[in-house]
Amino acid sequence: MDKSTVEFGKELESYLSEKFKELGFPNAKRSKGSGNQGQLGDITGQDILVVEAKNRNTQDITLKEDVWDKLCAEIPLHSKRLPMYVLRNKNQKTWCVMEAEDMFTILKGWMENTQGRI
């Protein structure tokens, strides 16, 4: 029996929630209504990213600019949270998309905290 679109989406959101918990956000969980009921993004309980998650039953993934623009527009101007668009294909490969400048800011902080040790 095939999974519904909602069930299919829940899989990725549950995966992301668990990953945030591993990072030290014990209250991370799927948003009620998957971000459509006044909550910012698909994952709550963490305050660093606004996440839009899309689980697709196709091999190839397309980044939809209108989804990205909507995600960015939903973040309040005073917020320091960054947008992240998470995509998963039918082979369970998962990608995180964010603005290049945001990624470089994160990398700079990581480099400063690790003093460049890899």
pLDDT at residue 40, as a whole number: 81
Please answer whether residues 70 and 27 qualify as being in contact, where contact means their C-beta atoms are separated by less than 8 angstroms: no
Please answer whether residues 1 and 26 qualify as being in contact, where contact means their C-beta atoms are separated by less than 8 angstroms: no
Rounded to two decimals, the pTM is: 0.84
pLDDT in tens, the chain (118 residues): 456 666 777 999 999 999 999 999 999 999 886 545 567 889 999 989 999 999 998 999 999 999 999 999 999 999 999 999 999 999 999 999 999 999 999 999 989 988 766 6
Please answer whether residues 102 and 72 qualify as being in contact, where contact means their C-beta atoms are separated by less than 8 angstroms: no
> Is 5-114 in CATH node 3.40.1350?
yes
Distance set, CA 50 to CA 60, 68, 71, 115, 118 (Å): 24, 11, 8, 28, 27
The domain ranges of the chain are 5-114
